[in-house]
Structure 1
Amino acid sequence: MAGNDDDDVYTLFIGIGLLVVLLGGASSFLTWLAGQVSGVITGGGWPDSDPTDCIGIAFRLLTHPSDPHSAWPPAAAAALGSAPIFFFLLFVFLAVAAVGTYFLVRLFLNFRRRRTVRRFRLGYASGWEVRKLLSAQRVQSMAWQVRPSMHGRPPRSIPPEEVGFYLGRDIRSRRKLYASIEDMAIFISAPRQGKDVHFVTPFTIDAPGPVIVTSSRRETFINTAMIRAQYGEVYVFDPWNWTGWPNRMRWSPLQGCEDPNVCAVRSGTLVESSGFSIGREGGTVLSGVITIIRCLLHAGAIGRVNFREVMRWIYEANGEEALEILRQGEREGRTAPGYPGQLEFNMRNEALWSGVMQVMHAFSHPPVLEDCSPEPGEEFDFAKFLKGRNTLYFVAKRQPDWGGIAPVVTTILEQYFRSARGAAMKNPTGRLDPPLTFELNQVADVFVSGGLPTYMGESGGYSISVHVYLTSLAEARAKWGADRTAALLDNATMKIISGGAGTIKDISDLSDLVGKHDGKQILSPEELRTMRFGRAVVVAGTARPVEMWLTPWWKRKDKDSIERAKAQVEAMIQQMHAPPPPVTPPSPDDPPPPVRVTATVTVPPSDTETDTSAGPATGTGTAPATGKAPRSGAASGTGAGAGTPGDDDDGDDDSAIVW
């Protein structure tokens, strides 16, 4: 221990000695430089002295501080400036050197405190790899494959945005990075780290075909709706009217349920996404609940009833009407085999109806039920939607206090994933053109389907792009479990990771995902967590990781158009939520409004009438209250008055006048 202490003391003294030598040498040089510059300023020219004289000059100046000339060699002293100028320059040089040293030391300490230089670190993708796997040339070369309608056009003449999505710029090679339409991407970004401004908004605007966007907030809708409206139709599924958009998307759970396969998938999706708990009874209750929902949907579809009727059956826990529809359909050959018997057996169990109500609770909110109960001809036409550059937004929350309509959105998107694949298979090329894009923002809150990993693995071959946005791996594991989350990552050809908070395990897993070089992590967990806003790492296919600069939408070339469109949507929402104008109470000095009185009067014939065969006259009309009222008569009525015609002073025949 004593030996180590002595070594520390020796090291301290050596360090102090080196510091004194460095400071002394720097001060001596600045002293010499101040004298030389003073000669130039005063017109004496550059004194005949070189930097090797600085040590001797400094020592001589210490012995004669009042006479700088005596410190310089005689040949140079004559050209030296006056003492005040010399000392002023010396003070300035020393101050500048001190300030510069302070900032250099501070920069060095901050540099050590933050991280080592990554730009020249080995393990990242080379410029050649980037060009081969992530460049504009790569997505252009795939244009004929992913968009068959472009066959025959020179690939280099096709804008990369028509066959891919711009990601960012490689920090090292400075190349622009693109993802192909075929690439399935997962974005892992902590809250408030810019996934909306860097990815969701630009991808929605640039999508070359129809795009479906989900979110639990309306930020993306506000940024993109008016821009997308320039390209095609814009629809919104927003039962709570947070957006105020007039073109509402209306969908019925009965849509397509004439097909028993559709019924089976839809009932299973509703049960899974609702978070239904089966209790101690286990699979028996689960199977019974799914069977009842499946049969009710099938009955509603073949009976052509409104979905409100199906919900009424559920509220009343009574399936008799549905059973009769299924039996009638069975006689006509329209009901799936076995459905009437399955419904009749299960609907007798009252305990199953409580499970059915729990599953279908999302439809119990009046605004949701309204949008899910369209009349014939009002349903959203998905086949037509796929043919243009149209847009569909889902604004929803999973939490019950915000409506809890995630099961509804999940069921709709499940149908659209399957319908899109079916539409692609009907084409000779087996692809959708224009391609369909799913921007699944806040996916764990909105789209809680267990089939998402499968869709990620299959959709690329149909020219369907799926972009999934997560705040953390823990969020995905809580929603889909560890195995499905692993499958989700495996089926994503691109993983884009931004900085921000996270658990130690998640950050370590992501760091391992980025990879190692020579046994060391290319990007340590600490470096991942502290990555600055506007940067991300992309791990794509067989390429080594790429660190990239991101471009927010407000730095795009079309930022002015986006800002104008955004302002229009904000003004529309503000106008929708503006309070009604106040009602001004009437002033006592204001004249009373005119009053009109409606009366029905029966008038007997006059004694003076020559036509005695005429019966009593009856009429209905309006007359102002200020008109003449008859003075007497046998007529009865409601109004300002009643009387006998011919009884007034104006000489007119009033037998046809009615007050």
Structure 2
Amino acid sequence: MSSSDDDEVYAVFIGAALLVSVLGLAGGFLTWLAGQVSGVIAGGGWPDSNPSDFAEIAFRFLRNPSNPRAAWPTGAAGAVGPASVFFVLLFVFLVALAGGLYFGIRLVLNVRRRRPVRRLRLGFASGWEVRKLLSARTVLSKAYQVRPSFQSRPLREVKPEEVGFYIGRDIRSRRKLYTSLEDMMIVVAAPRQGKDVHFVTPFTIDAPGPCIVTSSRRETFVNTAMVRAQYGEVHVFDPFNWTAWPHRMRWNFLDGCEDTNVAAVRSGTLVATSGLDMAREGAQGLGGVITVIRCLLHAGAIGGLTIREVVRWVYEANTDEAMDILRQGERDGRVAPGYSAQLEFNRRDERLWSGVMQVMSCFSIGDILDDLSPSPGEEFNYKEFLKGRNTLYFVSKQQIDHGGIAPIVTTIVEQFFRSARGAAMKNPTSRLDPPLTFELNQVTDICPIGGLPTYMGESGGYGITIHAYLTSLADARAKWGTEGAARLWDNATFRVISGGTGTAKDLAELSDLVGKQHGEPALRPEEIRTMPFGRAALVAGTARPVEMWLTPWWKRKDRDQIAAGKQAVEELIRMQAAGQTPSSPAPATPNVDTVPTVTPNAETAPLLTTTDDEDPWPSL
């Protein structure tokens, strides 16, 4: 048990002792008062006894309750009234005391529910509840389940950061809060409310296995790339060359499309995220566009070509070569019968073809085609990526119109989801170990995976952790619809709500989610909106809500190393902007005072993340 746990237990015992003492003193005084008043009622007058005698009188009464007069001093005993009067008065006084305590407590609780200092308000998880459901101890209790390879390690040697993530500190009990690797999390925070500094950067650094990060800005990459490079390989999908990182992810977009199911999923994802409107195009029109793209992707894979050739077919509006490949493949038994007929039928519709060109416009940037058409031997090896503590960043612009690359990023990440689940199912434990972490920042902008609500509900059992970041619930409804957004929200076991976000309707929903105490919300909508930077509400599993302090990366114990890595990456970017050739990046040097020696071994490499024990924010 930690010192903070001991302190709370001691506080409870001390509080209970004080309460018993106060009630005992009150009962003793009422015993003295009942005897004094009984004398007046019985006609004997006020007994010659002072209030200071009440403790001695109460003690004597407890020793001989059948004869109240014997408890009073000799000179005052004769004036005390009969026992029947005494006991009636004592009962009345005790009932009055109990009633006064009841209404007094209700008054205090009612004041607590409405007082502006939320730290004293009811409706939030107690320290014991936090310890039971959200503490490091709870995360460690699942260590052998989420990391089967740890079975041979004594539990006392396992660190919480190896089987979970530190997310903040409860402002009431001051306990550290952790989420397990099995827990899926959604963070709702307005722009510039610290999603990156409080969550994405720390979680990326802390990820105990491979980590995939998406963002429409390079901030996370700049903060974490050098630190992650100490553990394993760092790859970047950066078609706009914002990062100056030499290790670019080059992935064959047609990889696996020899399988008709893979081609179907890939084409469907491209169309779903391209901006085509079902109301305008109609189900038949969208179905035709998907069919054409599916056939083209399948033909390119069967023919041993790259996405560059497929894009050329689209822009030239000439699929003769694809038709020849499909027909030959059908004759050889490598293509399912009917593919060439489907393409032949649908390519005649000029309206469908315009839709195909619109979807494939995301490949219009030359650097994207280079990265997605690698030469043999240059392809990104995803299977090897999953074996170590490696990192893959997707850094891209937001999709604000047609031609954005969100469809490409979404398609790749969707494929990586499916491949990771397939790899997990091949393991005896049906889990990835080391576990895979997805940090999906700006998820609705550059990676709106259609199946994300489902993945949120299933991935924990495969050794896959998902952290998705939203600027508002409205964004989620716009991408996944009302029901899809609701499933996304419901399937997340941890929901973090930050300030400065949401419409009145969204804020009301979030307030209801946080919960109520006797009809009064624990956090009112305006309190959620005005929540200061560095504070957030947490709704996790079956626990009552928790209001927590967040720890920005510059308050971590490894902050010097993060800052050094950040400076090194910024220097690479500066050199590129100046037209100089950046040197090959080297991992940031660890701070030997706070960071243990790091080796790029996913199973043995220690984690750099231990958070400061000091309160990250002043008491409120």
Same fold (TM over 0.5): yes
Q: Which residue of 2 aligns with 1:254?
A: 254
Q: Which residue of 1 aligns with 2:325?
A: 325
Separation (CA, whole Å) in 1 of partners of 2:234 and 2:403: 23
Q: Which residue of 1 aligns with 2:430?
A: 430
Question: What's the offset of the Cα at 1:401?
Answer: 7.0
Question: What's the offset of the Cα at 1:180?
Answer: 0.2
Larger Rg: 1
Determine whether 1:567 maps to 2:561.
no
**Long gaps (5+) in structure 2:** 1-111, 582-620
1:117 counterpart letter in structure 2:
V
Question: What's the offset of the Cα at 1:547?
Answer: 0.9
Residue 118 of structure 2: SS of its match in structure 1? coil
Separation (CA, whole Å) in 1 of partners of 2:280 and 2:559: 57
Question: What's the offset of the Cα at 1:185?
Answer: 0.2
Please tell me whether the aligned partners of residues 214 and 439 of structure 2 are also in contact (alpha carbons under 8 angstroms).
Answer: yes
Residue 186 of structure 1: SS of its match in structure 2? strand
Note closer, same or farther for the CA distance 1:539–1:216 as it changes in structure 2 (3 Å cut).
Answer: same
Q: Which residue of 2 aligns with 1:362?
A: 362
Note closer, same or farther for the CA distance 1:338–1:308 as it changes in structure 2 (3 Å cut).
Answer: same
The superposition leaves residues 474-505 of structure 1 with CA deviations (integer Å, 9 ceiling, x where unpaired) of 11112221111111100000101111143111
Separation (CA, whole Å) in 1 of partners of 2:482 and 2:397: 24
1:357 counterpart letter in structure 2:
M
Q: How does 1:415-564 map to 2 (within 5 A)?
A: 415-564=415-564
Question: What's the offset of the Cα at 1:402?
Answer: 11
Separation (CA, whole Å) in 2 of partners of 1:281 and 1:209: 43
Question: What's the offset of the Cα at 1:280?
Answer: 5.2
Separation (CA, whole Å) in 2 of partners of 1:309 and 1:501: 45
Determine whether 1:156 maps to 2:140.
no
The superposition leaves residues 174-227 of structure 1 with CA deviations (integer Å, 9 ceiling, x where unpaired) of 111000000000001111111100100000000000000000000000000000
Note closer, same or farther for the CA distance 1:468–1:280 as it changes in structure 2 (3 Å cut).
Answer: closer
Separation (CA, whole Å) in 2 of partners of 1:474 and 1:351: 32
Separation (CA, whole Å) in 2 of partners of 1:281 and 1:398: 24
Separation (CA, whole Å) in 1 of partners of 2:144 and 2:335: 44
Separation (CA, whole Å) in 1 of partners of 2:424 and 2:358: 36
Determine whether 1:242 maps to 2:242.
yes
Please tell me whether the aligned partners of residues 306 and 375 of structure 1 are also in contact (alpha carbons under 8 angstroms).
Answer: no
Determine whether 1:382 maps to 2:382.
yes
Note closer, same or farther for the CA distance 1:328–1:385 as it changes in structure 2 (3 Å cut).
Answer: same
Q: Which residue of 2 aligns with 1:301?
A: 301
Separation (CA, whole Å) in 2 of partners of 1:453 and 1:173: 33
Note closer, same or farther for the CA distance 1:464–1:580 as it changes in structure 2 (3 Å cut).
Answer: closer
Please tell me whether the aligned partners of residues 115 and 121 of structure 2 are also in contact (alpha carbons under 8 angstroms).
Answer: no
* More moved, 523-532 vs 195-204: 523-532
Q: How does 1:268-307 map to 2 (within 5 A)?
A: 268-277=268-277, 282-307=282-307
Point out 4+ residue stretches in structure 1 off by more than 6 angstroms: none
Q: Which residue of 1 aligns with 2:578?
A: 578
Residue 152 of structure 2: SS of its match in structure 1? coil
Q: How does 1:186-265 map to 2 (within 5 A)?
A: 186-265=186-265
Question: What's the offset of the Cα at 1:403?
Answer: 6.4
Question: What's the offset of the Cα at 1:150?
Answer: 0.3
2:404 counterpart letter in structure 1:
G
Residue 539 of structure 2: SS of its match in structure 1? strand
2:469 counterpart letter in structure 1:
Y
1:163 counterpart letter in structure 2:
V
Please tell me whether the aligned partners of residues 135 and 175 of structure 1 are also in contact (alpha carbons under 8 angstroms).
Answer: yes
Residue 469 of structure 1: SS of its match in structure 2? strand
Separation (CA, whole Å) in 1 of partners of 2:189 and 2:333: 53
Separation (CA, whole Å) in 1 of partners of 2:221 and 2:382: 20
Please tell me whether the aligned partners of residues 365 and 403 of structure 1 are also in contact (alpha carbons under 8 angstroms).
Answer: no
Separation (CA, whole Å) in 2 of partners of 1:233 and 1:137: 32
Q: Which residue of 1 aligns with 2:183?
A: 183
Separation (CA, whole Å) in 2 of partners of 1:340 and 1:372: 25
Q: Which residue of 1 aligns with 2:394?
A: 394
Please tell me whether the aligned partners of residues 399 and 446 of structure 2 are also in contact (alpha carbons under 8 angstroms).
Answer: no
Note closer, same or farther for the CA distance 1:402–1:208 as it changes in structure 2 (3 Å cut).
Answer: farther
Question: What's the offset of the Cα at 1:279?
Answer: 6.3
Residue 151 of structure 1: SS of its match in structure 2? helix
Residue 166 of structure 2: SS of its match in structure 1? strand
Separation (CA, whole Å) in 2 of partners of 1:244 and 1:455: 32
Separation (CA, whole Å) in 2 of partners of 1:117 and 1:263: 57
Separation (CA, whole Å) in 2 of partners of 1:292 and 1:183: 39
Determine whether 1:124 maps to 2:128.
no
The superposition leaves residues 22-68 of structure 1 with CA deviations (integer Å, 9 ceiling, x where unpaired) of xxxxxxxxxxxxxxxxxxxxxxxxxxxxxxxxxxxxxxxxxxxxxxx
Percent of pairs identical after alignment?
72
Please tell me whether the aligned partners of residues 253 and 306 of structure 2 are also in contact (alpha carbons under 8 angstroms).
Answer: no
Separation (CA, whole Å) in 2 of partners of 1:518 and 1:332: 72
The superposition leaves residues 287-315 of structure 1 with CA deviations (integer Å, 9 ceiling, x where unpaired) of 11111100111111011012211111111
Separation (CA, whole Å) in 2 of partners of 1:347 and 1:203: 47
Separation (CA, whole Å) in 2 of partners of 1:349 and 1:128: 66
The superposition leaves residues 145-176 of structure 1 with CA deviations (integer Å, 9 ceiling, x where unpaired) of 00100013222320000000001111111111
Question: What's the offset of the Cα at 1:282?
Answer: 1.8
**Long gaps (5+) in structure 1:** 1-111, 582-659
2:266 counterpart letter in structure 1:
R
Separation (CA, whole Å) in 1 of partners of 2:495 and 2:559: 27
Question: What's the offset of the Cα at 1:383?
Answer: 0.7
Question: What's the offset of the Cα at 1:400?
Answer: 4.9
Q: Which residue of 2 aligns with 1:310?
A: 310
The superposition leaves residues 423-473 of structure 1 with CA deviations (integer Å, 9 ceiling, x where unpaired) of 000001000000000000011111112211011011011010000001111
Question: What's the offset of the Cα at 1:284?
Answer: 2.1
Separation (CA, whole Å) in 2 of partners of 1:128 and 1:209: 31
Q: Which residue of 2 aligns with 1:604?
A: none
Separation (CA, whole Å) in 1 of partners of 2:384 and 2:466: 20
Residue 282 of structure 1: SS of its match in structure 2? helix
The superposition leaves residues 603-658 of structure 1 with CA deviations (integer Å, 9 ceiling, x where unpaired) of xxxxxxxxxxxxxxxxxxxxxxxxxxxxxxxxxxxxxxxxxxxxxxxxxxxxxxxx
2:256 counterpart letter in structure 1:
G
Please tell me whether the aligned partners of residues 182 and 464 of structure 1 are also in contact (alpha carbons under 8 angstroms).
Answer: yes
2:248 counterpart letter in structure 1:
R
2:497 counterpart letter in structure 1:
I
What is the TM-score normalised by the length of structure 2?
A: 0.74
Residue 437 of structure 2: SS of its match in structure 1? strand
Note closer, same or farther for the CA distance 1:285–1:565 as it changes in structure 2 (3 Å cut).
Answer: same
Separation (CA, whole Å) in 1 of partners of 2:513 and 2:280: 40
The superposition leaves residues 581-601 of structure 1 with CA deviations (integer Å, 9 ceiling, x where unpaired) of 9xxxxxxxxxxxxxxxxxxxx
Separation (CA, whole Å) in 1 of partners of 2:174 and 2:288: 59
1:444 counterpart letter in structure 2:
T
Separation (CA, whole Å) in 1 of partners of 2:282 and 2:420: 34
2:574 counterpart letter in structure 1:
Q
